[in-house]
A and B are shown apart, each in its own frame.
Chain A
Amino acid sequence: MIRAFLLVNAFLFTAVCYLQIDSSLSISTQLSIISGQEAQGFDEIDWGFSRLPRLVMALLVGSVMGCIGSVIQQLTLNPLLSPVTLGTSSGAWLGLIVLAIFWPQGQTEFQVFAAMSGAALALGFVLLISGVRNLSGLSLILSGMAVNLLFGAITTALILLNDQYARNLFIWGAGDLSQNGWDKVQWFWPHCLLLLTILAFAGKPLTLLRLGQAAAAARGLNVVWLFVTLIISGLWILSSAITMVGIIGFIGLVAPNAARFLGARTATSELIVSTLLGASLLMIADGMALFANTLTFDLVPTGLTTALIGAPLLIILIRHRGNKKPQSQHAFMALQGSRTLSIRTIILMTGALLSVIFLGVFTHIDNNIYQFHLPNEFAWPLRWPRLAASLFAGAGMAVAGVMLQRLIHNPLASPDLLGLSAGAVLALILVSLLLGIRVSELGPLVAFVGSMSILGTLLLLGKRFHFAPTSLILTGVALTALIETLIQGVLMTGTDDVYDILRWLSGSTYRVTPNQAISLIVGVTLFIVVAVGLQRWLTLLSIGRITAAARGVSVQKSFIILLMISAGLCAFITALVGPIAFVSIVAPHLAGLLGAKKVVPQLFFSALIGATLLQLSDWLGQIIIYPNQLAAGTVVAIIGGSYFILILLKNRNSV
């Protein structure tokens, strides 16, 4: 009781402090405004119509995030899920962008529906990929991140092609709570009534669900019905919150974990404490943002300060968990299809590679006419570095993917999920902001240093939990999320550099110089040779750490070396070409499907497929929307992501 009393007092004190930031009004004036007195003068109006609704909004949105986060985590029995890790936030973001671009008039009325459909679509994909019965494992988080990447790539492509409509959405994407009046609060609060229903009724069935789905069903719980009801109402409140203030990550993830940490044991108490904690956390984060705004001229979005508080908390939670026994990993093996590599498949795939190279070399577009002829002496020096870049970047990313998936024992892992690409982006942006150089002029060195410092951080943090795969990849996910919020914050400053950065982010091959192309060829070849040289380690480690150790591989050393090779390869390519998503997931998977199941054939065959895929994407990006161009990285994310989802759906049906 005393503890609860103290907490309530602390909460009220924080709220009062929040209201004092950068405000010259006395507390008695503030009280009289709250009690309904007419506000007079700029300061009072500003306080009554901007600060006060902002506080209410922060509290409402915070409680929504905390409560929905707790619902999702209890439904899935997975303590590391949140609206952001499930891909719903990026889905909502995509829905809103589509609405803004294709039907700007509808924005006033249909924003919630657009956000809601986007979020539901994303969640649907995630559930289909990982399977409804497999909600507690790492696969769910990885498929959430994959869907995030796919939707992010589509959103980036849409923004780049329609920048006049999308410009003002950047601020929104970074999460911004500023209010000018009570309209938004008026609109939003009825949606929050659903929360009360959830708080009142969800506790009992959620308690039963802790037994596991099968056991809960055996006690008479309609699991599917519970799931559908809770998810739909959760998504609805969430989408309306996102429509109002944009994406605010981390609270949904951190609040329930903190609630459990503070001793909220039963389902209902976890729901309530998470809701209150979410509200307090967002209030504190927003207070920080307000305070930062008084120091700088730029607008500091709340999403940024939330991430600054949330990401370290999350990493602490992961480290805390790391000492416990890792939860059972349902290794996700969609490796059906051919059993061994047939000569015919090899010939077919080599043919595919040769034909995309042929297309890349000979296709020209002149005055809207597609032509085939040998490139002339002016075109060739422009063309070959680009061709080499796509081929070798594709091959390299595929090899990095094979290695990481075997190390982490999860076929959905890919090196860009470890936060390496994000690290490169951050380094580039920081250098360009601090030193004032444009991104395109910066050496790939900066990007490489950025990725490598992320890898260093990962290895430092990972030492504590002996590089357990789950904890490692979760730390990577947390770092990625933090850095992406930072990037959003920088993008929001809205200078022209933003579009340069977005173009680099989409992974394009047309800036690659002949020298860079040569270093790419040499570097990737070297990395692949080393990877093939260490194939016996890779085979043994992919069977299991105990097995590897019992056969005489010193596990920690070989794990770190292989991880560094995979990450180094990814960082090297990202530095020269930009982030290339999905090749590292799709190519190894496709190779396995076609029969390359052992390490060496899978390495080579994935490289072959990766090269084909990226070159094909580059070529398509040049011709489909001519005279515009889409970057290879964007096209490959869309092709790869769609293929990935399709193949998983197909496998799901046949199982």
Chain B
Amino acid sequence: MFEFSQLIIERNQRPILDIPNLTLATDKLTVILGKNGSGKTTLMQCLARQLHPSKGCIRFKEKPLLGFSQRQLAQEIAFLPQSLSEAAGLTIRELVQLGRFPWHGTWGRWRQKDHDIVTQSLKQVGLSHYENQLVEEASGGEKQRAWIAMLLAQQSPVLLLDEPTSALDISHQYELLSLLQKLNRETGQGIIIILHDVNLAARYADRILAIDEGRCVFHGTVDDFMKKEQLESLYNIPMTLINHPENNTKVALAC
């Protein structure tokens, strides 16, 4: 459970994120939506403690976020940033292995269990056959999946993903979200994820958090979110909602 109190992030003396009061569940699949520059990434960086608030604080598990040591935090929260580094000279498997660092630290020994977790994570994102390929030679989508596998190998109860689907084709996008949903249902891991695709979000999310100009404008269930006025005021363009022809959900069209 993340609890925000009077959180303000300023840049050049201008507030870019202002959330007086918010409680984010860490046992559900929550999707953060919003326009470019609305403050989604800033919010996520705060959750991952990559950015320190100018005012106010965030509590996690009823403890201030600053109260965790870096390793304790990584054992609790696994964060995937928006832009992924080169990771030059590492194979995909070696990259995924780095996800185990929080558990055995600087000098701790590798056990069979760690190797198994890495193998399983690679399998979950469908990269088992490419594990010996160099990361810098992988395609954009493979690279992104490799980083996601690293996140899985970290086995933290909370996963934070900032636009993890940006380099994935449509089938991998749906596979990834199915995988995250499955993880959430089976292991109870909480997932907070930034997406741009409203329909992808609507299909998999338990809860939606909408951000506009640094403020939280909606936080609730998908059904409550998929309303014409709601979407139009968030994105400032005309939207139409139609019923899915086969299952009982709504599909948003921009028009």
Contacts and interface: CB of A to CB of B under 8 A. Distances in A.
Nearest to B90: A598
Contacts of A540: 98, 101
Contacts of A236: none
Given A536-B101, A552-B74, A552-B75, A544 B85 contact: yes
Interface residues of B, number: 33
B154 A551 contact: yes
Interface stretch (B56-64, B65-73, B111-119): B65-73
Contact of A550 (B48, B69, B95, B136): B48
B88 A333 contact: yes
A529 to B, nearest CB: 12
B74 A551 contact: yes
Interface in B66-99: 69-75, 77-81, 85-90, 94-95, 98-99
A597 B136 CA distance: 12
Contacts of B77: 550
Contact of B89 (A534, A553, A554, A592): A592
A331 B89 contact: no
Interface string A266-289: 000000000000000000000000
6 closest Cβ pairs, A-B complex = A552-B74, A597-B89, A552-B102, A544-B85, A552-B71, A554-B70
Given A331-B86, A544-B85, A551 B107 contact: no
A602 B90 CA distance: 12
B46 to A, nearest CB: 13
A551 B154 CA distance: 8
A504 interface: no
Contacts of A602: 89
Contacts, number: 75
Contacts of B139: none
Contacts of B48: 550
A547 B101 contact: no
B50 interface: yes
B106 interface: yes
A333 B81 contact: no
Contact of B69 (A537, A543, A554, A592): A554
A553 B154 CA distance: 13
B134 interface: yes
A549 interface: yes
Contacts of A339: 134
Nearest to B102: A552
A543 B79 contact: no
Contacts of A554: 69-71
A553 B50 CA distance: 12
A533 interface: yes
Nearest to B136: A333
A546 B81 contact: yes
A470 to B, nearest CB: 16
A537 to B, nearest CB: 6
A536 B86 contact: no
A539 interface: yes
B58 to A, nearest CB: 16
B70 A543 contact: no
